[in-house]
């Protein structure tokens, strides 16, 4: 059965459905050698290229939906590349074949905490859509005098340049002096929305951490810069929230406490090494060159025939 081009590209891990619509409109996608247009439908057997590169189209039955939780540190941006050379959230993610990680929403450069990634573009698109009202909870440290009247306004709604916004929940959670902590909940993800809402009341946010997405909490054991893959139960929770069929397979490996402890120790070492390389461009360039040489060395010089050998009659 044919499907909309942007939908099948998103499911194949090329990007979100919204990104694919933009790319199609920009003339970056072809079907069987012809320029694609919005509204085109394709079969998994057709030849689709993006920027001249062939895309392996995945049917729903073939794709295994994967989701990972990433503990984003401050100072990283949510783009794949950056002209200014700043570190991105994609630098530390695990490498995968025939697919790619798609960020479910974004966090600005000065915000840390839980950021989800998936290989399923349709799942990412739905989780980001406002109609599903998936909750995002943030721990916010606010500088300034916060009055009951201010909190009431933030609950009922404040006018921003892109429309009215309100916290679904807001709860004081400690702090000293004029630095107070609050936990706030939203059901949308507009650009810098939490910061702009507090600023509309004359307060300044000097620390912002996303601690929850839906029912999924930022894992306590996960260090900043580390990631962990969700098991089938968590993946299907997200799919249920946005009315998608349950997944039946997973690539996440079950592990006991000792295995998890070793994995977390390995992640911490890798994060520390990554931070050192970021501070030393020469070391980073040397490490990248060594990794490239190792990857080339692993590739066989000649194609390997994996089937049965033919015999002459």
Catalytic machinery residues: 108
- Beta-bridged to residue 41, according to DSSP, are 4
């Amino acid at each position: 059965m044919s499907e909309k081009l942007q939908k099948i590209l998103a499911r194949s891990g090329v990007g979100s459905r919204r990104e694919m619509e933009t790319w199609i409109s920009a003339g970056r996608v072809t079907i069987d050698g012809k320029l694609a247009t919005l509204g085109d439908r394709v079969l998994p057997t057709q030849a689709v290229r993006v920027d001249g590169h062939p895309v392996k189209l995945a049917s729903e039955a073939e794709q295994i939906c994967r989701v990972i939780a990433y503990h984003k540190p401050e100072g990283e941006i949510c783009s794949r590349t950056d002209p200014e050379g700043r570190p991105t959230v994609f630098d530390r993610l695990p490498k995968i074949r025939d697919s790619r990680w798609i960020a479910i929403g974004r966090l600005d450069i000065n915000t840390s905490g839980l950021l989800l990634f998936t290989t399923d573009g349709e799942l990412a698109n739905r989780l980001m859509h406002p109609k599903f009202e998936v909750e995002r909870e943030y721990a916010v440290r606010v500088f300034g005098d916060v009055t009951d009247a201010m909190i009431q306004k933030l609950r009922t709604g404040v006018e921003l340049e892109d429309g009215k916004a309100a916290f679904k929940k807001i709860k004081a959670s400690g702090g000293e002096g004029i630095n107070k902590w609050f936990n706030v909940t939203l059901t949308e993800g507009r650009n810098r929305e939490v910061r702009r809402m507090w600023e509309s009341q004359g307060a300044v946010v000097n620390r912002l951490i996303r601690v929850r997405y839906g029912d999924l909490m930022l894992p306590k054991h996960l260090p900043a810069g580390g990631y962990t893959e969700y098991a089938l139960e968590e993946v299907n929770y997200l799919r249920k929230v946005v009315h998608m069929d349950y997944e039946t397979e997973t690539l996440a490996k079950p592990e006991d406490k000792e295995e998890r402890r070793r994995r977390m120790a390995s992640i911490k070492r890798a994060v520390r090494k990554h931070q050192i390389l970021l501070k030393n461009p020469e070391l980073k360039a040397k490490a990248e060159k060594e990794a490239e040489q190792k990857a080339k060395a692993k590739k066989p010089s000649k194609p390997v025939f994996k089937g049965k050998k033919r015999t002459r009659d």
